[in-house]
Structure 1
Amino acid sequence: MSGRKSRREIDKAIKHLMAYTGPHDEWAGRWDQVQEDLLGPLAEKLDVSFEALEDFFYAGPYSHMVIGFSFEEYATVLWDNEPHNLIEAYLAHRGWREGPAGRRYLQALGASELRFWEVTAVKPGAYADIRPYGTRDEPIRVKERAATESLHQWDGLVARVLYTGATPTFSGAMLPLPPGLAARIQGVLSAIPAETRQLMQQLVEQGEIERLPDDLDDIIRHAQESELAGVAFLIWAMDVYLQTTGPSPNLRNMDDEPIAPTSVRFPLQGSRKAVLRALDASPVLHREAEAPSWTWFPEPYQDIDVGERVSVLGHIALDDNALELDTNSTVRAERGTALLAALLGDLVGSPLTVHENMALMEDCGDMPMPAADIPAEVQAAITAQLTNHYRKTLDEPIPMLEGLSPRQCAADPTLHNEVISWLKHLENTSDRGPDASYDFSWIWDELNLERQ
């Protein structure tokens, strides 16, 4: 059977299933209950009316995801200890009307389990390699065309994997999650075992049960499985709603200046050696081992005590033709421009300032410039600049690492999970932007961490 004919049979079977309410309408109303179970806790958390959330999620750009996710829950859950779910009831009653591909798909969907995965690799338009989240199990390769276009390495993924042929596929609904949200879901699920054991122990102490159940581990596993859909949907939907309806974040640096990544480029007009001498002579510029580059501090470098937390105002790099200052605010760019003009005078020409438009970057989303459109020499320069930036970052305090540097965390085995999560976040974020081709493997090697 051709792939197109199979797809038609599957779409037809899903359409029939969605319209099915049972010979005595015993399934009528249950679809509404599932939607209420998913959106009700969200309405309470956000203090938003249920109707407003219905309008947002069922009539907006996320409607296909929410409808698909909630319908698959509705179609696969067992209600009140009934022996069959909706799919099994439909196939027993009207399965004869479906083609073989449609029946196979519904059977696989009915037997599937919603699982929490981690994406370890993606080939957009072809497949995704996934493994159970929080494990180092061998990944499985899932064939998928459309969904893989929006998946990225180290994403979390709440989805069903179906086995209808030689190659596993995803069902029609899934919740992709960036690493930060995935970690929140894992945190909630990881608390369930201790909470369940505590509850069981209380029941023993209160005389409700004689002793802890022999199948306590099975009870805990079932509790985690049953909570996954509600927990994942709540965290995913809350993030989507707040990101879409909330005000843009007002990001500020340590000097309370608005974050606005800014580069200032000075063309060289005088002797390169004279520029080197002038920069090395400045007490607030510290020359890095990766010469010729300098870090700009708010006070003389020699006066900074070991362990003192100071703001890094910017980075300066010198190449054969120009001197470039990189800062994270326009205020710092202006101060740095004045500093370099005073230090260098006629050794450099008039500066060119470039401001990164963060709002525009957000609007562009996952639409990077095709690599083929970037000249090789420009790509090489970008890669070199990124490497220089990340090399400095390894020794700088990182908020995500509680103010420690990646190198400090890598040196402490008890902090390896934290620095590995930071690295995955770095790779995942890069994969979503215009620098998706950047290879971070050298950082894993530099920190002597095993790539997971």
Structure 2
Amino acid sequence: MPASHDLKGLMKFLDRDEWRGCFEEVLDEHFGPALDACEIEFEDLADVLGEVWAMTLWGCAFEDFLTQDFEGQPSNIVDDYVKRRGWKESAQSKAYMMALRTSTMSLYEISNVVPGQSLTARDLIRGGEPISVSEGTATKTLKQWDKIAARIVPVMGKNILAGGVLPFTPQATETLFEGLRGTFGKRNAKKLPALEDEELQAVASMFTLAWLFDTLGRMMTRPSLQNNDGDEIVFHDVRFPLASGAKEGDVVTRLNTIPALSQSDAKFWNWLEGAQQGKGKPKTTETTARFTTMDNGLLVLGNVEMKGRFLHLSANSAARAAEGTALIQQALGDLVRTPLTEIRTVDQMMAERPRNGVETSSSGIPPEVAEQSIHEFLDRHYLETLDQPVRLLGNKTPREAAKTPAGRRKVVDWLKYLENQSAKQPDPIHPITTYSFEWIWKELGVHGLRQ
């Protein structure tokens, strides 16, 4: 938030007796149901979500509080603060406070993002024409067709985003819409009724709760990756230093005496599951198994490789690393010294992946050739998809759905979802990021609805 929009003085005003209890009520509206359901306290949110998101959520509740009128005089904290302390604030800060005083939280679809400068926002709840927003920080991370819950306020001739901005997934969006339909619509209504600003202001906590239930739910039910033994995947690199005087040829000879090792080249072995070892631990429905097999169907438990004066054992779980270590130490004996182990989680491995996409040293494929090949593959894939049922389209094919007005709206949402997911690739020059979906819009006759 720019310094000219500083609300520190207003925040300190919360400590006054007449406002402390009122703000606690608003905090409970925004967080209480979600915290109770997950059996955590507000203070735990920073540990669960991170400090930034905890403060963003607090900001959403605070901005809602600024709009509310309570019993007694004064009835609104902004009016009270400006009257008592407004002389301390700049004209722009006071204008920002007064804009927040009458602001409304809504759900917006983002387009035409100019990083560091501006974006276009379309109100998905109240409708109307898209509006241009001046924004420096959020535009550096927002992508085409992102959905955000936010307050857009006019300040001195410009529309700006307030501080409480929450990115909404399709699941969070549906949760919010279900809540709004249940509150303002008819029973079992499928469309949102027309809502006035006052009505949305009264249910601002729904946005925070929809985001919280979705985010906490995904975090707490996140499936753990398991290998075929049912063990959590944690990558282990066990390095055995060769003993002084140990010859590489002797190490290779002893490794080849281990029945479970299959030599692939002069310095590389696959560690294979024995014929009697194929029955692993049962996997639960909340886990995803990851395993590799050889052409003969045997499961690969790990790899062994000679690298200079070190013998490396790679395995994807602690149990396999321990078993492989014992196997090697038993066979090699005094040819190797005490091993050192490096451990990395799946998240750490993902973070270490090169950001330059196809420009890997091992591929040898020029980036432009790789991009063309991937784009051609995506062309074929999506051309086939146009004649296949799509769950987001009610299990109709895109061509079928595009024949009706209701279906075309779903097709537009589907295409925006595809573009949005493509734009969220971390590498801006990755072939998936640079792929254009424009031909699909035209093929389905909905290009005029792309706004």
TM-score (norm: length of structure 2): 0.62
Q: State the Cα distance separating 1:405 from its structure 2 match.
A: 1.9
1:33-432 → structure 2 map (5 Å cutoff) = 33-46=25-38, 48-50=39-41, 53-54=44-45, 56=47, 60-80=51-71, 84-133=75-124, 137-195=128-186, 222-227=198-203, 229-248=204-223, 363=350, 369=356, 375-432=367-424
- 2:449 alignment partner in structure 1: 451
- Distance (Å, rounded) in 2 between the aligned partners of 1:134 and 1:25: 36
Preserved contact between residue 178 and residue 428 of structure 1 (Cα < 8 Å): no
| Structure number with higher strand proportion | 2
User: What is the aligned-residue identity percentage?
Assistant: 25
How big is the alpha-carbon RMSD for the aligned residues of Structure 1 and Structure 2?
Answer: 4.0
Q: State the Cα distance separating 1:197 from its structure 2 match.
A: 13
Letter in 2 for 1:68: G
- 1:16 alignment partner in structure 2: 9
- Distance (Å, rounded) in 1 between the aligned partners of 2:18 and 2:147: 36
Q: State the Cα distance separating 1:107 from its structure 2 match.
A: 2.2
Q: What is the number of residues matched between the two proteins?
A: 327
- After superposition, the Cα gap between the structure-2 partners of 1:156 and 1:50, relative to the gap in structure 1 and judged at 3 Å, is same
Letter in 1 for 2:438: S
Preserved contact between residue 114 and residue 139 of structure 2 (Cα < 8 Å): yes
| Structure number with higher helix proportion | 1
* Per-residue Cα deviation, 1:62-89 (whole angstroms, up to 9, x for no partner): 1221122122122222224867421121
- 1:259 alignment partner in structure 2: none
Preserved contact between residue 126 and residue 144 of structure 1 (Cα < 8 Å): yes
TM-score (norm: length of structure 1): 0.62
Q: State the Cα distance separating 1:440 from its structure 2 match.
A: 1.0
Letter in 1 for 2:444: L
Letter in 1 for 2:133: V
- After superposition, the Cα gap between the structure-2 partners of 1:15 and 1:237, relative to the gap in structure 1 and judged at 3 Å, is same
Q: State the Cα distance separating 1:40 from its structure 2 match.
A: 0.8
* Per-residue Cα deviation, 1:29-55 (whole angstroms, up to 9, x for no partner): 222222222111112333x13356445
Q: State the Cα distance separating 1:196 from its structure 2 match.
A: 9.2
- Distance (Å, rounded) in 2 between the aligned partners of 1:440 and 1:190: 32
Preserved contact between residue 154 and residue 179 of structure 1 (Cα < 8 Å): no
- 1:323 alignment partner in structure 2: none
* Per-residue Cα deviation, 1:274-322 (whole angstroms, up to 9, x for no partner): xxxxxxxxxxxxxxxxxxxxxxxxxxxxxxxxxxxxxxxxxxxxxxxxx
- Distance (Å, rounded) in 1 between the aligned partners of 2:113 and 2:177: 22
Preserved contact between residue 156 and residue 176 of structure 1 (Cα < 8 Å): yes
Secondary structure of 2:151 counterpart: strand
Preserved contact between residue 104 and residue 200 of structure 2 (Cα < 8 Å): no
Letter in 2 for 1:451: L
Secondary structure of 2:143 counterpart: coil
Q: State the Cα distance separating 1:428 from its structure 2 match.
A: 1.3
